[in-house]
């Protein structure tokens, strides 16, 4: 074995016990080199370094204990089980086995001393270890382990023992001077993190006796944070690479005289807020440059993102380019279509429509108009970006609600080019407020604009929590509001797994409410209705021809009815805060005071209570997002991006928030001062998953 060859270039097949079959298994986890193996880190640990007195064991502990067998019995309950009563003078515990042989039972005689390892649980009579590992303690029994026992993420056919053998060999190579490049200079690390990478890796693979299991499980040990930091830097760099790849391309510089924009502004019944104006200027400047814009606009529900998008679109249209506006659902796309047509018809700018439901001749015509360049603007769903959709001169893509639109799709847009090798500008809008440092990490490939101001004259929504035992009162409240000429939403959040059952249940609710509220006009929208049917019901509600709209959460985004001032949300405890916030944003759009009734099903758990209290106490989307982040973690907030594209090995965006800013700085410095380290660092942490970035 050549010991000076860098570990990043030493194939795992050089290790003892790694033949073709095992190499293939490892490759499935992206492990091809000894370096990959070293960065395959344990996700938890067991402490087998010491024997814990039985009296000190607590449920949930995984521990080694030793004691004497007092009594052995077979219980015939729902399941036959073998119970072994064990004590050590400090306390006693039961070992429970559901599967056992007669020989096994006979060997467990009274008086025998056993050493066991397992997880302590609360049994019917006392604490128990279910199916513990155990062996008699005699002269030959080996002593306790010398390090915490690492537990590795694994794949079929790879046992923990195999991982330990392999990492043992990898660590030995490291020990013998195998080269592992320290890609991050120590001076880039935040204070308190160890500089020596090899040492940190050694610690994580084999935490020594005395390492705090609790600290290790919590991911708070400095050695862990050293690696977390490096991983955060690597992710930051990979997103920036994606951005650089796109920014290297040319986009059309879209500048006009602003005439169309002036016309629209003159017709609007309101003036832009300062925040809208500022963000629009940021967008305008980007679009006027020949570098592709990659900009995320964050703005709370109701902050007026649509009109900003429309004004941006006009800039592209004026310059003679096409605009595509994509929304994640039909309903939201339809709403945009309506808005844009209302604004653009007087300007004589046609707005096309393309969704999965547009078929046949209509579809062909839309496709031709786009390919021919006759249609300056099209609104639709993901269907807009199917292969067969070609644009003559696509200059701007607007994506509403980014979370289903990731780096991959962004890169794919290259192919929809604006002609002549030009790629379109991209504007992404989201109503999900994300704390800034998190946003700058998750969206490092985007520039960020924030509409941090609501249009004037909005009255905050008053929110109350009411148990569903008071359903009748709530129904009377709906009656009173409607009698006063207001309109109301009744949102059903149902547990049924299948959408069709959900819709049935919503139908049932609508029927009951229509009965209980005889005289009121009750409408229903749910996900199973045809787009046209939904559209018709929404239109009637908007026109004031319906008093009460019963809906599944399909109305989360989309409808804008200023006269609706009451919203009832059934079982709000089933929804995330961000979603509740979105829903509630449907009311409070007019000048009357609006109310939101969160009608929960008791009893509420501690966390649900806390979450609903947040909804009651604040209307600030950013505070709600921060709370959601604390309670549920970033995956829920960032959606697909987190799940699919931001899989971390050791970092956790919530736990490690305090490292985010420093990681961004380190990424900046590395790009500036040591760009040759960038690719190796990305490869080390993201391996094959970033290959598309270099494509
Ligand atoms: P969101 O940011 O949630 O997408 P919308 O764009 O749907 O918000 O805007 C919500 C409502 O506020 C719409 O009826 C819109 O016409 C209106 N609106 C937008 N900007 C302003 C403004 N500056 N002043 C008053 N109303 C505005
Ligand atoms: Mg919107």
Ligand 1 neighbourhood includes 631 CB (under 6 angstroms): no
User: Closest Cα to residue 18, out of 166, 176, 171, 170?
Assistant: 166
Residue where a domain stops, chosen among 580, 597, 618: 618
Same domain, residue pair 380 and 490:
no
- Structural Rg of the chain based on CA atoms: 31
Same domain, residue pair 340 and 289:
yes
Phi/psi class of residue 174: alpha, beta or left (left: φ > 0; alpha: ψ in -120 to 50)? alpha
Ligand 1, closest atom to CA 560?
14
255-289 b/e with 16+ CB inside 10 Å = b? eeeeebbeebeeeeeeebbebbebbbebbbebbee
Same domain, residue pair 415 and 548:
no
Same domain, residue pair 593 and 522:
yes
231 alpha carbon – ligand 2 mean position (Å): 34
Q: What is the pTM of this model?
A: 0.74
Ligand 1 neighbourhood includes 677 CB (under 6 angstroms): no
Q: In this predicted structure, what is the pLDDT of residue 694? A: 32
Q: In this predicted structure, what is the pLDDT of residue 381? A: 86
* CATH number of the domain to which 98 belongs: 2.40.50.140
| 3-class secondary-structure state, position 204 | helix
332 alpha carbon – ligand 2 mean position (Å): 8
Same domain, residue pair 443 and 576:
no
Could you tell me if residue 578 is inside a domain? yes
Same domain, residue pair 83 and 130:
yes
Kindly report the average pLDDT of the chain as a whole number: 88
DSSP state of 391: -
The ligand whose atoms approach the alpha carbon of 582 most closely is 1
273 alpha carbon – ligand 1 mean position (Å): 10
319 alpha carbon – ligand 1 mean position (Å): 26
Same domain, residue pair 296 and 395:
yes
**Which ranges in 60-159 belong to alpha helices (H)?**
102-107
CA distance 48 to 64: 6
The answer to whether the beta carbons of residues 376 and 323 sit under 8 Å apart is: yes
Same domain, residue pair 360 and 423:
yes
Could you tell me if residue 688 is inside a domain? no
Mean pLDDT of 630-638: 61
Ligand 1 neighbourhood includes 431 CB (under 6 angstroms): yes
Same domain, residue pair 320 and 281:
yes
Q: In this predicted structure, what is the pLDDT of residue 476? A: 96
**Of 410 and 451, the one with more pLDDT:** 451
CA distance 473 to 516: 11
Total structural domains in the chain?
4
Could you tell me if residue 246 is inside a domain? no
Could you tell me if residue 314 is inside a domain? yes
CA distance 107 to 474: 67
CA distance 151 to 163: 9
Q: In this predicted structure, what is the pLDDT of residue 142? A: 66
| Count of Cβ atoms closer than 10 Å to residue 671 Cβ | 16
Confidence at 690, pLDDT banded by 50, 70, 90: very low
What's the pLDDT tens digit per position in 318-344? 999 999 999 877 777 888 998 999 999
Mean pLDDT of 84-105: 94
CA distance 207 to 55: 26
- 623 CB contacts (<8 Å, ≥6 apart)? 614
Q: In this predicted structure, what is the pLDDT of residue 171? A: 96
What's the pLDDT tens digit per position in 486-495? 999 999 987 6
- Encoding tokens for residue 167? 């990492």
Ligand 1 neighbourhood includes 304 CB (under 6 angstroms): yes
The ligand whose atoms approach the alpha carbon of 401 most closely is 2
The answer to whether the beta carbons of residues 324 and 383 sit under 8 Å apart is: no
Could you tell me if residue 356 is inside a domain? yes
Residue where a domain stops, chosen among 579, 600, 618: 618
What's the pLDDT tens digit per position in 140-166? 666 778 899 999 988 888 889 899 999
Q: In this predicted structure, what is the pLDDT of residue 460? A: 80
Confidence at 642, pLDDT banded by 50, 70, 90: very low
Confidence at 693, pLDDT banded by 50, 70, 90: very low
309 alpha carbon – ligand 1 mean position (Å): 11
Each as own residue / partner, the long-range contacts of residues 16-20 (CB below 8 Å, 24 or more positions apart, any chain) are: 16/169, 17/162, 17/165, 17/166, 18/166
Residue where a domain stops, chosen among 160, 194, 218: 218
Could you tell me if residue 282 is inside a domain? yes
Instruction: Quickly tell me which residue has 């905050």 as its tokens.
Output: 460
Burial of residue 57 (CB within 10 Å: 0-12, 13-18, 19+) is: middle
What's the pLDDT tens digit per position in 664-675? 999 999 999 999
What's the pLDDT tens digit per position in 508-534? 999 999 999 999 999 999 878 887 788
Domain membership of residue 40 as a residue range? 6-46+149-218
- Could you give the C-alpha distances from 236 to 36, 634, 666, in angstroms and in order? 20, 16, 9
What's the pLDDT tens digit per position in 582-615? 889 888 877 788 999 999 999 998 888 998 999 9
Q: In this predicted structure, what is the pLDDT of residue 407? A: 65
Same domain, residue pair 263 and 406:
yes
Ligand 1, closest atom to CA 308?
6
User: Residue with the nearest Cα to atom 9 of ligand 1?
Assistant: 304
Choice from 265, 269, 277, 304 to test ligand 1 binding pocket (greatest atom count within 8 A of CB): 304
CA distance 40 to 150: 11
Confidence at 409, pLDDT banded by 50, 70, 90: low
Choice from 307, 331, 456 to test ligand 1 binding pocket (greatest atom count within 8 A of CB): 307
Q: In this predicted structure, what is the pLDDT of residue 691? A: 35
Torsion angle in degrees (nearest 10) through CA of 136, 139, 141, 143: 130
The ligand whose atoms approach the alpha carbon of 457 most closely is 1
Confidence at 28, pLDDT banded by 50, 70, 90: confident
Mean pLDDT of 243-257: 89
User: Residue with the nearest Cα to atom 10 of ligand 1?
Assistant: 302
The ligand whose atoms approach the alpha carbon of 264 most closely is 1
- Could you give the C-alpha distances from 104 to 84, 109, 111, 419, in angstroms and in order? 11, 10, 15, 76
- Encoding tokens for residue 345? 């018809």
Lowest mean per-residue pLDDT among 210-214, 326-330, 413-417, 500-504: 413-417
Provide the terminal-to-terminal Cα distance of the chain, rounded to the nearest Å. 34
What's the pLDDT tens digit per position in 184-240? 999 999 999 998 999 999 999 999 988 888 899 899 999 999 999 999 999 999 989
Q: In this predicted structure, what is the pLDDT of residue 346? A: 95
The ligand whose atoms approach the alpha carbon of 591 most closely is 1
117 alpha carbon – ligand 2 mean position (Å): 55
What's the pLDDT tens digit per position in 430-458? 877 677 777 788 888 889 999 988 888 77
Ligand 1, closest atom to CA 273?
23
Confidence at 634, pLDDT banded by 50, 70, 90: low
Could you tell me if residue 631 is inside a domain? no
Could you tell me if residue 651 is inside a domain? no
Ligand 1, closest atom to CA 339?
16
454 alpha carbon – ligand 1 mean position (Å): 8
CA distance 608 to 458: 28
Same domain, residue pair 411 and 441:
yes
Q: In this predicted structure, what is the pLDDT of residue 688? A: 55
* CATH number of the domain to which 519 belongs: 3.40.50.300
**Of 150 and 78, the one with more pLDDT:** 150
136 alpha carbon – ligand 2 mean position (Å): 67
Q: In this predicted structure, what is the pLDDT of residue 2? A: 45
What percent of the chain is modeled with pLDDT above 70?
Answer: 91
311 alpha carbon – ligand 1 mean position (Å): 13
Phi/psi class of residue 56: alpha, beta or left (left: φ > 0; alpha: ψ in -120 to 50)? alpha
Ligand 1 neighbourhood includes 303 CB (under 6 angstroms): yes
Same domain, residue pair 280 and 425:
yes
| Count of Cβ atoms closer than 10 Å to residue 156 Cβ | 6
CA distance 533 to 474: 28
Lowest mean per-residue pLDDT among 80-84, 468-472, 492-496: 492-496
DSSP state of 636: H
- Encoding tokens for residue 593? 């005071």
How big is the chain, counted in residues? 695
């Amino acid at each position: 074995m050549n010991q000076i060859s860098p570990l990043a270039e030493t194939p795992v097949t050089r290790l003892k016990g790694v033949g073709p079959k095992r190499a293939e298994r490892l490759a499935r986890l992206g492990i091809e080199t000894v370096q990959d193996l070293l960065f395959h880190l344990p996700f938890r640990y067991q402490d087998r370094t010491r024997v814990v007195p039985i009296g000190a064991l607590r449920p949930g502990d995984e521990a080694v204990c030793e004691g004497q067998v007092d009594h052995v019995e077979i219980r015939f309950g729902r399941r036959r089980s073998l119970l072994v009563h064990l004590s050590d003078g400090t306390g006693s515990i039961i070992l429970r086995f559901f599967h056992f042989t007669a020989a096994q039972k006979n060997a467990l005689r009274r008086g025998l001393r056993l050493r066991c390892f397992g997880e302590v649980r609360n049994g019917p009579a006392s604490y128990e270890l279910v199916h513990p590992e155990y062996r008699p303690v005699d002269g030959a029994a080996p002593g306790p382990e010398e390090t915490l026992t690492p537990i590795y993420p694994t794949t079929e056919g790879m046992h923990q023992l195999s991982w330990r053998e392999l990492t043992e060999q990898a660590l030995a190579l490291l020990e013998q001077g195998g080269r592992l490049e320290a890609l991050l200079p120590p001076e880039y690390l935040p204070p308190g993190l160890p500089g020596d990478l090899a040492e940190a890796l050694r610690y994580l693979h084999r935490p020594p006796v005395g390492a705090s299991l609790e600290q290790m499980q919590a991911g708070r040990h400095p050695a862990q944070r050293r690696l977390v930091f490096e991983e955060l830097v690597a992710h930051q760099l990979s997103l920036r690479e994606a951005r650089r790849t796109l920014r290297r391309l040319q986009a059309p510089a879209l500048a006009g005289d602003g005439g169309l924009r002036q016309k629209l502004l003159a017709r609007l019944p309101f003036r832009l807020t300062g925040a809208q104006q500022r963000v629009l200027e940021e967008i305008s400047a980007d679009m006027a440059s020949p570098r592709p814009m990659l900009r995320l606009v964050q703005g709370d529900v109701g902050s007026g993102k649509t009109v900003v998008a429309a004004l941006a679109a006009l800039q592209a249209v004026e310059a003679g380019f096409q605009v595509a506006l994509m929304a994640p659902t039909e309903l939201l796309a339809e709403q945009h279509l309506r808005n844009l047509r209302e604004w653009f018809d007087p300007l004589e700018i046609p707005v096309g429509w393309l969704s999965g439901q547009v078929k046949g001749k209509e579809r062909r015509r839309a496709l031709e108009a786009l390919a021919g360049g006759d249609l300056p603007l099209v609104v639709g769903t993901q269907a807009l970006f199917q292969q067969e959709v070609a644009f003559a001169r696509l200059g701007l893509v607007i994506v509403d609600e980014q979370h289903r639109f990731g780096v991959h799709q962004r890169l794919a847009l290259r192919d929809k080019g604006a002609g002549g090798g030009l790629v379109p500008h991209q504007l992404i809008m989201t109503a999900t407020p994300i704390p800034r440092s998190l946003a700058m990490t998750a969206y490092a490939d985007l520039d960020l604009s924030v509409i941090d101001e609501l249009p004037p004259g909005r009255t905050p929504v008053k929110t109350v929590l009411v148990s569903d035992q008071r359903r009748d009162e709530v129904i009377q409240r709906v009656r009173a509001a409607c009698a006063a000429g207001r309109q109301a939403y009744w949102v059903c959040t149902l547990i049924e797994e299948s959408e069709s059952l959900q819709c049935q249940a919503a139908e049932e609710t609508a029927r009951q409410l229509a009965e209980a509220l005889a005289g009121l006009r009750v409408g229903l929208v749910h996900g199973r209705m045809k787009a046209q049917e939904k559209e018709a019901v929404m239109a009637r509600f908007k026109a004031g021809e319906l008093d009460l709209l019963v809906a599944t959460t399909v109305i989360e985004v989309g409808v804008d009815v200023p006269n609706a001032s009451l919203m009832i949300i059934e079982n709000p405890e089933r929804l995330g805060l961000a979603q509740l916030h979105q829903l509630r944003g449907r009311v409070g759009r007019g000048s009357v005071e609006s109310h939101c009734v969160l009608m929960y099903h008791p009893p509420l758990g501690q966390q649900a209570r806390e979450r609903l209290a947040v909804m009651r106490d604040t209307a600030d989307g950013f505070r709600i997002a921060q709370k959601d982040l604390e309670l549920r973690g970033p995956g829920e907030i960032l959606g697909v991006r987190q799940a699919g594209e931001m899989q971390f090995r050791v970092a956790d965006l919530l736990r490690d928030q305090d490292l985010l800013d420093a990681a961004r700085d380190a990424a900046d410095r590395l790009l500036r001062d040591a760009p040759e380290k960038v690719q190796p660092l990305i490869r080390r942490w993201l391996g094959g998953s970033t290959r598309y970035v270099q494509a």
